[in-house]
């Protein structure tokens, strides 16, 4: 026994095993990002003259700032809808039998299993002027003229919320599953009603899941190019489409690069706000 | 202490519970508990102790029967309106709240203002001897300390009944003894009617005024510790509470107070009919505790061969094989120089007194 080597500390394994991933990351992520940064620091489309002109242009242009603002707002709205709808689903999941749990998981995952194009066209069918909603409401006599649902902020938010729901629900299910069920009972036996128990015990303890879910949903919602463009139509412009137009249609690569860098920083800022909020609420670590 | 209000009485009236899965967890349990008593619910794993506790607390609605606290039938009340304090086996402290907030949680739910809450929490933490821990989080406390906090949290709502589910199971032996004494002290001071669930018979016998022994969801016996230990009413109680030798035999003659039993091991002894009337010629199981057997020099008693002797400190336990091949244990106090018994020595054994052998009708 004396000669048997002690099991090696995990940290002592060489970093070599991570090399393939690191290389992949370097070639396909870091390098393009640096190239993007390099491009964005040129004032002309041919990328000959250095300068901060593209950034200056974006940050002083009300139109560009408007697009950025509405994109960030869109993300916030989708995240809020997903949170409000996803929490009850996750909560329900932890309180039903195993058979219902399987069904719930299946329903939650369903959007991920459908092609984005099919899913988006389904929404067009549902939300359109002659779509399912308008047809139903009209035949019931609730409305006379069709509501405008497609090509509206509302439509985009609903369609995105449906797609991103799993990103919110899955972390929530995990977080709620980690809460000791006795805590519910303890709270109740101490005289707290269901709402107090929810706000004082369940919600704070599920915060890690809320933060993770919000971050994922937010990041996915603001970058969802296809859904944004098809449901939003021509009248609504969000950052991914704006970027695409600049790069592809107008061939203004430096400006497109600057847009992506600004977009990236804005998203990072929002995400770090989420994480800071999470750290400030000392809601986890126990159990 | 201010809350010496004399705990309320608790009646468990013909309670039966069947889980939706079909498992019959408790069956026709009747307990009549006086205000201020400490009761132990004792039984092996899976006998329905936790189920009964959760029914009393209101987390489970029983299939049949009633729960009466004081003068009120509480079956229709949700747990948060029963004023029943409960300490969970894993403590179930709120991990994100400070110790002080944990203890004050029940008061907050009752709308008590923050200053009062903190004062009360501090008073209770002093009571459970943790006055300096109020700002810590539960994970920064040891198991025994968390246990005390859980107790303080349950006491903060001035419950009329206190329920403890295996409260000391996770503690090491010394700490367990400390906490047992502590809980008993707090219970005496506050006078709260207390129900302790345990599968540790020593704990039940030492802490409780009365012990309810459960087996397979049924109440086997409900009586004082000495009743349960010395006058067990069923074979299960006799063998589960304390150690006991089981010796099969046949009834030779019997009346209400005494039975003459011919043991298969080969002797006639007088035993107490413990589980109801015995019929002549019927098979019985006689229970005799190891400390109630003695070596006899004459021809009374039954013969056996000594197998092994284990010196256990204050006592010596001898394993003896009887004529019918079954083994019995005999425990002898170690007074001065106990007679050394060689392995293989032939001995004769007899009960110390007729009242110390209990005869139960044999069940097949
Ligand atoms: N939620 C449940 N659904 C179905 N059956 C259950 C449930 N909880 C407990 N049971 C069953 O009911 C019986 C009693 O369980 P209970 O938890 O009350 O036992 P216990 O005496 O507390 O045991 P332990 O000492 O191991 O804690 C067991 O047979 C158990 O399998
Ligand atoms: Mg139990």
The H or E element spanning position A223 is none
What's residue A13's pLDDT?
66
A281: pLDDT confidence band, cut at 50, 70 and 90?
A: low
CATH class assigned to B10-235: alpha beta
Kindly report the nearest CA distance between residue B85 and chain A, in angstroms: 6
Split into its structural domains, chain A has a count of 1
Instruction: Tell me the average pLDDT across B218-241.
Output: 93
User: For residue B254, what are the β-bridge partners?
Assistant: B259
Q: Which residue has the tokens 């995105």?
A: A160
Using DSSP's 3-state secondary structure scheme, residue B194 falls into: strand
CATH number of the domain residue A153 falls in: 1.10.3720.10
Predicted confidence (pLDDT) per residue in B274-326, tens digit: 877 788 888 999 999 999 998 888 777 888 898 888 888 788 888 999 888 88
Q: Which CATH architecture has domain B243-353?
A: Beta Barrel (2.40)
Cβ pair B204, B196 in contact under 8 A: yes
What's residue B12's pLDDT?
95
Closest-CA residue to B152 (of B191, B180, B120): B120
CA-nearest residue, atom 3 of ligand 1: B19
Query: Is some CB atom of chain A closer than 8 A to the CB atom of B170?
Result: no
Instruction: Tell me the average pLDDT across B166-178.
Output: 82
Domain borders along chain B are 10-235, 243-353
Predicted confidence (pLDDT) per residue in A90-120, tens digit: 999 998 989 999 999 999 898 888 888 888 8
B64 or A49, greater pLDDT: B64
With respect to residue A232, please indicate whether it lies within any of the assigned structural domains. Answer: yes
The residue count of chain A comes to 287
What's residue A11's pLDDT?
60
Instruction: Tell me the average pLDDT across A20-26.
Output: 90
Contacts of B111 in chain A (CB under 8 A): none
8-state DSSP, B30: E
What's residue A285's pLDDT?
41
Contacts of B99 in chain A (CB under 8 A): none
Prediction ipTM score: 0.80
For residue A225, give its domain range. 69-237
What's residue A10's pLDDT?
59
CA R_g for chain A = 24
With respect to residue A253, please indicate whether it lies within any of the assigned structural domains. Answer: no
Q: What are the DSSP E strand ranges found in B75-170? A: 84-87, 161-165
Cβ pair B348, B304 in contact under 8 A: yes
Instruction: Tell me the average pLDDT across B45-66.
Output: 93
With respect to residue A171, please indicate whether it lies within any of the assigned structural domains. Answer: yes
With respect to residue A151, please indicate whether it lies within any of the assigned structural domains. Answer: yes
A3: pLDDT confidence band, cut at 50, 70 and 90?
A: very low
B171 Cβ neighbours under 8 A, 6+ residues apart:
B143, B144, B147, B179
With respect to residue A12, please indicate whether it lies within any of the assigned structural domains. Answer: no
Instruction: Tell me the average pLDDT across A200-204.
Output: 92
Nearest Cβ partner of A182 from B90, B106, B139?
A: B90
* Residue in chain B nearest A286 by alpha carbon: B95
A4: pLDDT confidence band, cut at 50, 70 and 90?
A: very low
CA-nearest residue, atom 31 of ligand 1: B46
8-state DSSP, B128: T
CA-nearest residue, atom 17 of ligand 1: B50
With respect to residue A254, please indicate whether it lies within any of the assigned structural domains. Answer: no
Q: Which atom of ligand 1 is nearest to the CA of B197?
A: 22
Closest-CA residue to B65 (of B25, B23, B16): B16
Kindly report the nearest CA distance between residue A214 and chain B, in angstroms: 21
Q: Is B51 in the pocket of ligand 1 (CB under 6 A)?
A: yes
B12, B18, B20, B23: residue to mutate for ligand 1 pocket, most atoms within 8 A of CB: B23
């Amino acid at each position: 026994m004396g000669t048997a080597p002690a099991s090696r500390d995990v940290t002592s394994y060489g970093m070599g095993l991570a090399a393939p991933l690191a290389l992949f990351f370097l070639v396909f992520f870091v390098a393009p990002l640096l190239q993007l940064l390099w491009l964005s620091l040129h004032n002309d489309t041919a990328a000959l003259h250095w300068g901060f002109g593209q950034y200056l242009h974006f940050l002083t242009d009300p139109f560009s700032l408007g697009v950025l603002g509405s994109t960030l707002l869109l993300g916030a709205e989708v995240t809020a809808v997903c949170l409000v709808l996803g929490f009850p689903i996750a909560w329900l999941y932890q309180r039903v039998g195993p058979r219902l749990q399987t069904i719930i998981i299946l329903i939650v995952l369903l959007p991920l299993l459908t092609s984005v194009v099919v899913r988006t066209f389904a929404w067009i069918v549902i939300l359109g002027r002659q779509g399912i909603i308008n047809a139903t409401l009209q035949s019931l006599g609730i409305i006379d003229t069709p509501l405008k649902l497609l090509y509206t902020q509302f439509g985009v938010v609903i369609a995105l919320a449906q797609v991103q729901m799993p990103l919110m629900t899955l972390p929530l299910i995990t977080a709620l599953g980690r809460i000791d069920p006795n805590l519910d009972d303890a709270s109740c036996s101490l005289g707290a009603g269901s709402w107090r128990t929810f706000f004082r015990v369940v919600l704070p303890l599920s915060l890690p899941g809320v933060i993770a879910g919000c971050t994922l949903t937010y990041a996915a919602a603001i970058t969802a190019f296809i859904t944004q463009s098809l449901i939003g139509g021509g009248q609504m412009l969000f950052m991914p489409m704006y970027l695409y137009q600049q790069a592809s249609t107008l061939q203004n690569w430096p400006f497109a690069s600057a847009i992506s860098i600004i977009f990236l920083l804005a998203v990072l800022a929002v995400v770090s706000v989420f994480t800071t909020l999470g750290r400030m609420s000392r809601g986890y670590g126990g159990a | 202490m201010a809350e010496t209000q004399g705990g309320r009485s608790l009646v468990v009236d013909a309670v039966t519970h069947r889980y939706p899965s079909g498992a019959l967890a408790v069956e026709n349990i009747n307990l009549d508990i006086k205000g201020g008593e400490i009761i132990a619910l004792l039984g092996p794993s899976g006998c329905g102790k936790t189920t009964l506790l959760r029914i009393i607390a209101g987390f489970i609605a029983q299939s049949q029967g009633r729960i009466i606290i004081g003068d009120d039938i509480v079956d229709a009340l949700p747990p948060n309106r029963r004023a029943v304090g409960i300490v969970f086996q894993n403590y179930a402290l709120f991990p994100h709240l400070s110790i002080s907030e944990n203890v004050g949680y029940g008061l907050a739910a009752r709308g008590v203002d923050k200053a009062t809450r903190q004062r009360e929490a501090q008073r209770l933490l002093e009571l459970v001897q943790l006055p300096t821990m109020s700002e810590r989080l539960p994970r920064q406390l040891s198991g025994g300390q968390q246990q005390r906090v859980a107790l303080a949290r349950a006491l903060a709502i001035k419950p009329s009944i206190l329920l403890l589910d295996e409260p000391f199971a996770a503690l090491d032996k010394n700490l367990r003894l400390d906490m047992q004494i502590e809980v008993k002290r707090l219970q005496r001071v506050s006078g709260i009617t207390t129900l302790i669930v345990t599968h540790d018979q020593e704990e039940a016998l030492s802490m409780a005024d009365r012990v309810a022994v459960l087996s397979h969801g049924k109440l086997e016996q409900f009586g004082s510790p000495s009743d349960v230990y010395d006058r067990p009413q069923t074979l299960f109680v006799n063998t589960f509470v304390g150690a006991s030798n089981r010796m099969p035999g046949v009834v030779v003659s019997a009346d209400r107070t005494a039975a003459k039993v011919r043991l298969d091991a080969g002797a006639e002894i007088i035993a107490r009919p413990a589980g109801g009337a015995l019929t002549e010629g019927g098979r019985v199981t006689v229970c005799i505790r190891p400390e109630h057997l003695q070596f006899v020099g004459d021809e009374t008693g039954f013969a056996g061969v000594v197998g092994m002797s284990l010196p256990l400190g204050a006592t010596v336990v001898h394993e003896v094989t009887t004529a019918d091949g079954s083994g019995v244990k005999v425990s002898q106090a170690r007074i001065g120089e106990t007679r050394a018994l060689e392995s293989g020595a032939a001995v004769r054994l007899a009960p110390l007194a007729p009242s110390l052998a209990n005869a139960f009708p044999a069940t097949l």
